[in-house]
Structure 1
């Protein structure tokens, strides 16, 4: 038997602080407990169960129409393909750390022949000057709100409005990677409809933030979504039935959509506790959504050892991993959900007191 890993130690804690809790079969069981078993399933994208949910999401986003997809990867590639075909220009622009660029094995290029133009430096969000300074013609600009890979950073709302106005003046379509759209609304003080009005098409996730099993919505005009349905069939996205995903998405949407303010306030409180520890910082320093990144300015192995000691003493787990950034720094991503409210302030205070004491020990070496 080898030494216990941080992941194993995290799983063995009495309580884990991240997200909405364990992603086990109870996620599906909870969504189905009050469902009438005689309700007919959807079949190849048709039927009341899928159509009602699509209409509900279109209304929430303020768009004419919406289509349910099994994955956001599929939905976003299709959205960009539609806008490129419309202009007969197969070039789009997005951030260097966009999901399509770093997590999809070049799917946009290999499957659709679309060339991406990377905007802005990796460490910051796209600004108006990046868009107005484009030297190449593009069919579509993709903005991710929040920008996950840099701690969930956001442009200010005035910048969003200016970028949207510029793109529309220039005939450039603008697409929202809104996987975590719900989570930024408290910071902006806007509704989903108000934010989405700045975009021609919108993608929304049902497992990030909401905590469903899987699935996504792609929304826009009637013409746009009709075309997306054709592409969904071409991609093999029309499974005979998607109702387990739809039912869980609908159930957890209703359960959690009105808790986003609570999660946001929790994230700000939690970031403050981390920033009060010796040699720890967060990005952003004050979160703009319910997610942020924590940086330990110590070697990965030493941090893992300390975290496991903290877990043993407090019974509370912060994370199951820390990723090496450099020889003297490591980090992990925080996502605040239902779990955070179930830990008392007294327990939180003890957790961070113990953590800080152990981190100070590294300085004294």
Structure 2
């Protein structure tokens, strides 16, 4: 039976990208040195969760932080709080925002909040877009980096200008920082320096950090106190969240200092792709550990080429491809721990084969 591209990728000795398989070992490793007598959290209380929340509040430069089982829950709650405070239920965000395309209209159906879509879907939100708003909004959400367009980022000066404008107009500014940790090397800023521009911040612990699941929502104490009420209303106050908290804490400490490494490796890998014909990365030079690779070739034509390279070199370049119109396809690449273990000569051979096959 012919293997799918994903199966072939997973069967290679050196799959490029990510930290590794998301199997039970992820939890085993996180728990291996934990004291067996450590008490679990109970409905959001207890040292195991409260200590982590305090650490993250300090790291993000905010007064307070709350651990949530998911970013979807955390962000909907953040926007609900700001809408209730302002008294009208309109928020603005990018057309390819996670809340718009991946959450089954949860913001609209559960909170009756109406989004205002800013900017063309193929570019970032600019200060001019915000200044041109024709309706009153309670909150502006910015995603850094903007995942669906290759992880692009605005200049930091543009962010500062947007933040100042929102502050002057009384518009709350919320950060979808699912990949916040991964952009600090590009901006040459601490997470706290970036978060200082925002009234509320969400960060993920299963993406670049590689934990099991979980998110932090941070802001001032009044904001996070309200978020705890909404967390209970959403059913997010599980009796215990410690498996998620402990894994988040463990992998945060393991990987937070590797973000510069991942960033430099992403630039190296993008350079190899950009040497191939019919291939380009977005952005051309990555601004975080992730980027998109676009091929001027249909998926059906490219997949056999990749499968032959995987078999010949045991290097897995791409796990999945998505159609990008009738004549092209693309994929997302995220660099993690695995890239450092890929033999450079084998990687070079794999890209030589790719370049030759794409040129024919």
Q: Distance in 1 between matches of 2:66 and 2:3?
A: 45
Q: Distance in 1 between matches of 2:282 and 2:85?
A: 38
- For residues 300-315 of structure 1, what are the structure 2 equivalents within 5 Å? 300-315=299-314
2:295 maps to which residue?
296
- For residues 15-34 of structure 1, what are the structure 2 equivalents within 5 Å? 15-34=14-33
Give a deviation string over 1:279-329, Cα, whole Å, max 9, x none. 110000000100000011111111000000000000011122111112210
2:215 maps to which residue?
216
1:201 maps to which residue?
200
SS in 1 for 2:62: coil
Give a deviation string over 1:92-122, Cα, whole Å, max 9, x none. 0000000000000000000000010000000
Which consecutive unaligned segments of at least 5 residues does structure 2 have? none
Q: Distance in 2 between matches of 1:257 and 1:264?
A: 12
Q: Distance in 1 between matches of 2:181 and 2:10?
A: 28
2:72 maps to which residue?
73
2:178 maps to which residue?
179
Question: Does 2:93 align with 1:88?
Answer: no
1:325 maps to which residue?
324
Q: Distance in 2 between matches of 1:178 and 1:124?
A: 18
2:127 maps to which residue?
128
Q: Distance in 2 between matches of 1:283 and 1:109?
A: 31
Displaced runs of 4 or more, over 2 A? none
Q: Distance in 1 between matches of 2:358 and 2:309?
A: 10
SS in 2 for 1:126: coil
1:54 maps to which residue?
53
Q: Distance in 2 between matches of 1:320 and 1:63?
A: 37
Q: Distance in 2 between matches of 1:40 and 1:317?
A: 42
Give a deviation string over 1:36-86, Cα, whole Å, max 9, x none. 111000000000000000000000000000000000000000000000000
1:273 maps to which residue?
272
Q: Distance in 1 between matches of 2:3 and 2:221?
A: 54
Give the C-alpha shift of residue 345 in structure 1: 2.1
**What number of residue pairs does the alignment pair up?**
360
TM-score, scaled relative to structure 1: 0.98
Give the C-alpha shift of residue 182 in structure 1: 0.5
Which consecutive unaligned segments of at least 5 residues does structure 1 have? none
Deviates more, 1:89-98 or 1:324-333: 324-333
Q: Distance in 1 between matches of 2:145 and 2:196?
A: 17
SS in 2 for 1:326: coil
- For residues 92-107 of structure 1, what are the structure 2 equivalents within 5 Å? 92-107=91-106
What CA RMSD, in Å, does the superposition of the two structures yield over aligned residues? 0.7
Question: Does 2:155 align with 1:150?
Answer: no
SS in 2 for 1:116: strand
Give a deviation string over 1:244-280, Cα, whole Å, max 9, x none. 0000000000000000000000000100000001111
Q: Distance in 1 between matches of 2:245 and 2:239?
A: 13
2:136 maps to which residue?
137
2:345 maps to which residue?
346
TM-score, scaled relative to structure 2: 0.99
Q: Distance in 2 between matches of 1:319 and 1:274?
A: 12
Q: Distance in 2 between matches of 1:218 and 1:28?
A: 23
Question: Does 2:107 align with 1:108?
Answer: yes
Q: Distance in 1 between matches of 2:137 and 2:175?
A: 16
Give the C-alpha shift of residue 9 in structure 1: 1.1
Q: Distance in 1 between matches of 2:81 and 2:67?
A: 16
- For residues 32-43 of structure 1, what are the structure 2 equivalents within 5 Å? 32-43=31-42
Give the C-alpha shift of residue 18 in structure 1: 1.3
Give a deviation string over 1:123-176, Cα, whole Å, max 9, x none. 101000000110100000000000000000011000000000000000000000
1:167 maps to which residue?
166
